[in-house]
Amino acid sequence: MKIVYTKGLKRSVKFSLFLLSFFTLIFVSSCEKDCEEPPVDNSDPLDEMISLLDLQALPEVSHPANNPTSPEKVELGRLLFWDPIIGGEKDMACVVCHHPGLGYGDGIDLPIGVNGSGLGIERTENTGGLDLVNGPIGRVPRNAPTIINAAFNGLTSSNGYDPSASPMFWDSRADALEGQCVGPPGSRSEMRGDAYAEEDAMDSIALRLNAIPEYVQLFESVFGAGNAVTVENYTFAISAFERSIVSDNSPFDQYVEGDLSALNSDEKNGLILFYGKARCSNCHYGPMFSDYDFHALGIPENPINPNAPDMGVDDEYKFRTPTLRNATLTGPYMHNGMMESIKDIVEYMNAGVSANENVTEDMLATDMEPLGLTENEIDQLVAFIESLTDENFDTGVPESVPSGLPVGGNID
Ligand code: HEC
Ligand code: HEC
How far apart are the CA of 117 and the centre of ligand 2, in A? 31
37 pLDDT tier (thresholds 50, 70, 90): low
Nearest ligand 2 atom to the CA of 274 is: 37
Checking if the pLDDT of 10 tops 80, the result is no
Ligand 1, atom 16, residue with closest C-alpha: 169
40-72 tens-digit pLDDT: 555 799 999 999 998 999 999 999 999 999 999
What b/e sequence results for 267-293 when a residue is b if at least 16 CB atoms lie within 10 Å of its CB, and e otherwise? bbbbbbbbbbbbbbbbbbbbbbbbbbe
Query: Which of 98, 282, 288, 334 maximizes ligand 2 atoms within 8 Å of its Cβ, making it the mutation to test the pocket?
Result: 334
The binding-site residues of ligand 1, defined as CB within 6 angstroms of any ligand atom, are 86, 92, 94, 96-98, 111, 113, 140, 142, 144-145, 147, 150, 153, 168-170, 177, 180-181, 184-185, 190-191, 238, 242
Q: What is the model's pLDDT at position 160?
A: 85
**Which residues are within 8 A (CB) of 156 and not within 5 positions of it... i.e. 6 or more apart?**
285, 286, 288, 290, 291, 292
Residue 104 CA to residue 74 CA, distance in Å, equals: 16
Distance CA 89, CA 171 (A): 28
**Ligand 2, residues 110, 283, 367, 373: which to mutate, most atoms within 8 A of Cβ?**
283
Are 181 and 175 in contact by the 8 Å Cβ rule? The answer is no
> Is the CB of 349 inside a 6 Å radius of any atom of ligand 2?
yes
Query: Residue 33: pLDDT above 70?
Result: no
Q: Is the pLDDT of residue 28 over 80?
A: no
Query: Does the beta carbon of 367 lie inside 6 Å of ligand 2?
Result: yes
Low-confidence winner among 4-18, 25-39, 247-261, 287-301 (lowest mean pLDDT)? 4-18
Q: Measured between alpha carbons, how far is 209 from 219 in angstroms, rounded to an integer? A: 10
Is the pLDDT at 314 greater than 90? The verdict is: yes
Residue 142 CA: which ligand 1 atom is closest?
Answer: 12
pLDDT digits (tens, 9 = 90+) for 208-261: 999 999 999 999 999 999 999 999 999 999 999 999 999 999 999 999 999 999
Cα separation, 369 vs 382, whole angstroms: 19
- For residue 25, what pLDDT is reported? 47
Distance between CA 211 and CA 188 in Å, rounded? 23
Q: What is the mean pLDDT of residues 122-136?
A: 96
Q: Please, which pLDDT band fits residue 286 given cuts at 50, 70 and 90?
A: very high
Q: Which of 4-13, 28-37, 303-312 has the lowest mean pLDDT?
A: 4-13
Q: Which of 76, 96, 97, 181 to mutate to test the pocket of ligand 1 (most atoms within 8 A of CB)?
A: 97
Distance between Cα 247 and ligand 1 center (Å): 18
Is 74 in contact with 240 (CB distance < 8 Å)?
yes
Half-sphere exposure of 395 (CA within 13 A, CB side): 11
Cα of 292 to ligand 1 centre, how many Å?
A: 17
The answer on pLDDT for 4 being more than 80 is: no
Burial 130-154 (b: 16+ CB within 10 A, else e): bebeeeebbbbbbbbbbbbbbbbbb
Q: Which ligand 1 atom sits nearest the alpha carbon of residue 322?
A: 26
